[in-house]
């Protein structure tokens, strides 16, 4: 557990939630636990505009029909569990507030922290009369709630939908994955392979499910996989593993930021303990400190098990930063932001190419000269020279990849297996290298420095997505590196196939034959 600072306690309050209840029913606002699971044991009072309301004037709506007076909270019965992600509506039995800004203060007790205070300002605004998508507070994944949204979509758009509504799983499994669930997008899945992977974690032949609407994509990757198989398969190695969150601390001047950075380096042991107290899985490896102007950027680097881990490391970093805010005794910290844009979440960046985000994986193979010429109608010299020319083009354009199209294979596999598809922005970065061996064969390798994948959590447990992971035997504890090696092998197959097609001038004709849908 960690000690939440006053700066972080403000985040319990949901900004914009202050409102007058209908029929002079009082005033309400919302709390959402964005810190750590606790037990609420007492509500002392709420102050609004300096007016103090005791527990006898406060009611808590805990959701799912559980509404109780604040006077019922007590330490004796253990209080009420307030989990991370849960929201509670606080109702105040008082007269309505006028429009405008109002200071709000809530004093309460929570186990194991003791007495805590949240102090914020919020506004009463004119009621919003815009059309809203239907939802049900009790069970928004019920058949009634879904059908209400389906009718709403048809009425609002003036269109009828036949295929959007059809799905074969219990919508309740989507809680935490999709809000306002209305239907599904049916994306075709084609199979490529089997691909022979000679990894440290993935060993054997794997069928590759690829979800795509791009003609020739599956065929192209399948062609590359067959060529790799004829040459003994693809060798894949995970060489790095780190997931980041990068907060920033703001000081009055550069010296304050510099001294703070030194203190962080000297205080790693308790910082690590606070971060790791939030998870059984997340392990803080190290913190990189970057200084600019009067800002100290801390790049926390974690290992996250089989999960991609962005939310996990966010929570762990939040805990560590709360402890830092409470215990740093140097120059005053003027502002703090949990994410400074320096982790470059879902954005391509040079720092992730250099320092790793997610898994850093290398896929490599030696392509036999005779097989390459017979199957692809190109020589090793042609592909190696083509690679040199392409390097210049990638350099001039400032691309994050000197290969051909790693995003194609990564995206198709990501959609099929329930990965966070926006992570393709980072995962598509790649460094490809080729050379002609002394035996006149082609050595080809691809380094993917920021491959963000998971075999647990997120969308990996959903119906078809989990089936696709099971197709590759990538479900269960300790399978994420296996999956990363498979994805890297897929990428190399696609690079080999497309580079050969461009070099042999088969690219356009293949698209005309297999990819036209006009």
**Which of 19, 45, 165, 511 is an active site residue?**
511
Quick check: is 183 in a domain?
no
Q: Could you read off the pLDDT of 349-375 as tens digits, one per residue?
A: 999 999 999 999 999 999 999 999 999
pLDDT tens digit string along 495-505?
Answer: 999 999 998 76
* DSSP character at residue 97: P
**166 falls within a domain:** yes
Q: Which of 349, 369, 168 is nearest to 244 (CA)?
A: 349
Q: Are residues 14 and 83 in the same domain?
A: yes
What's the pLDDT at 508? Answer: 46
pLDDT in tens, 311-334: 899 989 988 998 999 899 999 999
For residue 414, give the CATH number of its domain.
3.90.770.10
- In a domain, residue 210? The reply is yes
Write the pLDDT tens digit of every residue in 100-135. 999 999 999 988 888 889 999 999 887 667 788 999
Among candidate residues 308, 379, 380, the one with its CA nearest the CA of residue 345: 308
In a domain, 97, yes or no: yes
Burial readout 109-125 (b: 16 or more C-beta within 10 A, e: otherwise) = bbbebeebebebebebe
Contact between 384 and 259 (Cβ < 8 Å) = no
3-state secondary structure of 224: helix
Considering the domain architecture, whether residues 323 and 255 belong to the same structural domain is answered as: yes
> Residue 345: inside a domain, yes or no?
no
267 neighbors 314 (Cβ within 8 angstroms)? no
The tokens for 122 are 């919020």
Instruction: Examine the domain organization and report whether 428 and 504 are in the same domain.
Output: yes
The beta strands (E) that lie in 313-467 are given as: 335-337, 358-367, 431-436, 442-451
Active site residue 214: yes
Query: Are both 440 and 366 inside the same structural domain?
Result: yes
Catalytic residue from among 214, 276, 467, 506: 214
In a domain, 131, yes or no: no
Instruction: For residues 365 and 224, state if they share a domain.
Output: yes
CA 481 to chain centre: 17
Instruction: Please tell me the total count of domains within the chain.
Output: 4
Last residue in a domain, options 305, 337, 369? 337
Residue 310's CATH number: 3.30.70.420
pLDDT exceeds 50 at position 209: yes
Three-state secondary-structure class, residue 121: strand
* Pair (276, 370) in one structural domain: no
| Nearest by Cα to 211 from 405, 407, 411 | 411
What is the domain extent for residue 150? Answer: 143-173
Q: Are residues 34 and 119 in the same domain?
A: yes
Q: Are residue 235 and residue 384 in the same domain, yes or no? A: yes
pTM for this entry: 0.83
Question: CB of 295 within 8 A of CB of 248?
Answer: yes
Residues 68 and 153 in one domain: no
Contact of 348 with 477, CB cutoff 8 Å: no
- Give catalytic status of residue 259 as yes or no: no
For residues 459 and 371, state if they share a domain.
yes
In a domain, 129, yes or no: no
- Considering the domain architecture, whether residues 101 and 218 belong to the same structural domain is answered as no
Whether 307 and 403 map to the same domain: the answer is no
Catalytic residue among 140, 364, 420, 441: 420
What are the tokens at 62? 């805990």
- Is 93 known to be catalytic? no
Instruction: State the CATH number of the domain containing residue 93.
Output: 2.60.40
């Amino acid at each position: 557990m960690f000690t939440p600072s006053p700066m972080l306690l403000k985040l319990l309050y949901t900004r914009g939630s202050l409102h007058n209840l209908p029929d002079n029913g009082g005033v309400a606002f919302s709390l959402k636990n964005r810190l750590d699971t606790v037990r609420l044991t007492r509500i002392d009072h709420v102050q609004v505009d300096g007016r103090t309301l005791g527990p006898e004037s406060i009611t808590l709506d805990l959701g799912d029909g559980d509404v109780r007076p604040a006077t019922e909270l007590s330490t004796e019965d253990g209080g009420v569990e307030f989990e991370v992600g849960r929201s509670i509506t606080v109702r105040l039995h008082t007269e309505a507030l006028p429009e405008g800004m109002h200071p709000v203060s809530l004093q309460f007790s929570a186990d194991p922290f003791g007495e805590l205070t949240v102090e914020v300002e919020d506004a009463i605004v004119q009621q919003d009369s815009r059309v809203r998508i239907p939802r049900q507070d009790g069970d928004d994944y019920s058949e009634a709630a879904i059908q209400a949204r389906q009718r709403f979509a048809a009425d609002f758009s003036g269109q009828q939908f036949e295929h959007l509504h059809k799905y074969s799983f219990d919508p309740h499994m989507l809680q935490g994955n999709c809000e306002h669930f209305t239907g599904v997008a049916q994306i075709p899945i084609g199979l490529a392979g089997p691909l022979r992977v000679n990894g440290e974690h993935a060993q054997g032949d794997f069928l590759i499910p690829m979800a795509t609407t791009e003609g020739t994509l599956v065929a192209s990757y399948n062609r590359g996989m067959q060529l790799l198989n004829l040459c003994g398969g693809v060798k894949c190695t995970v060489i790095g593993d780190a997931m980041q969150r990068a907060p920033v601390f703001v000081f009055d001047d550069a010296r304050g930021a510099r001294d703070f950075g030194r203190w962080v380096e000297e205080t790693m042991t308790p910082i690590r303990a606070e971060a790791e107290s939030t998870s059984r899985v997340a392990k803080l490896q190290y913190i990189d400190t970057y200084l600019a102007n009067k800002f100290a950027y801390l790049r926390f680097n974690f290992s996250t098990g089989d999960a991609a881990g962005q939310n996990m490391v966010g929570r762990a970093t939040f805990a560590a930063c709360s402890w830092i805010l409470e215990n740093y005794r140097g120059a005053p910290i003027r502002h703090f932001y949990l994410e400074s844009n320096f982790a470059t979440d879902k954005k391509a960046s040079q720092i992730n190419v250099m320092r790793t985000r997610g898994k850093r994986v290398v896929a490599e193979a030696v392509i036999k000269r005779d097989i390459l010429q017979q199957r692809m109608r190109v020589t090793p010299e042609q592909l190696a020279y083509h690679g040199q020319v392409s390097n210049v083009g990638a350099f001039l354009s400032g691309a994050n990849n000197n290969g051909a199209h790693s995003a194609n294979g990564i995206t198709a596999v990501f959609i099929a297996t329930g990965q966070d598809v926006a992570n393709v922005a980072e995962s598509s970065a790649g460094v490809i290298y080729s050379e002609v061996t002394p035996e006149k064969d082609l050595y080809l390798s691809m380094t993917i420095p920021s491959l963000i994948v998971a075999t647990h959590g997120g969308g990996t447990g959903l119906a078809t997505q989990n089936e696709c992971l099971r197709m590759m035997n990538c479900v269960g504890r300790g399978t994420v590196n296996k999956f990363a090696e498979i994805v890297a092998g897929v990428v190399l197959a696609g690079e080999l196939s497309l580079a050969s097609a461009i070099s042999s001038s088969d690219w356009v004709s293949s698209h005309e034959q297999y990819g036209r849908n006009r």
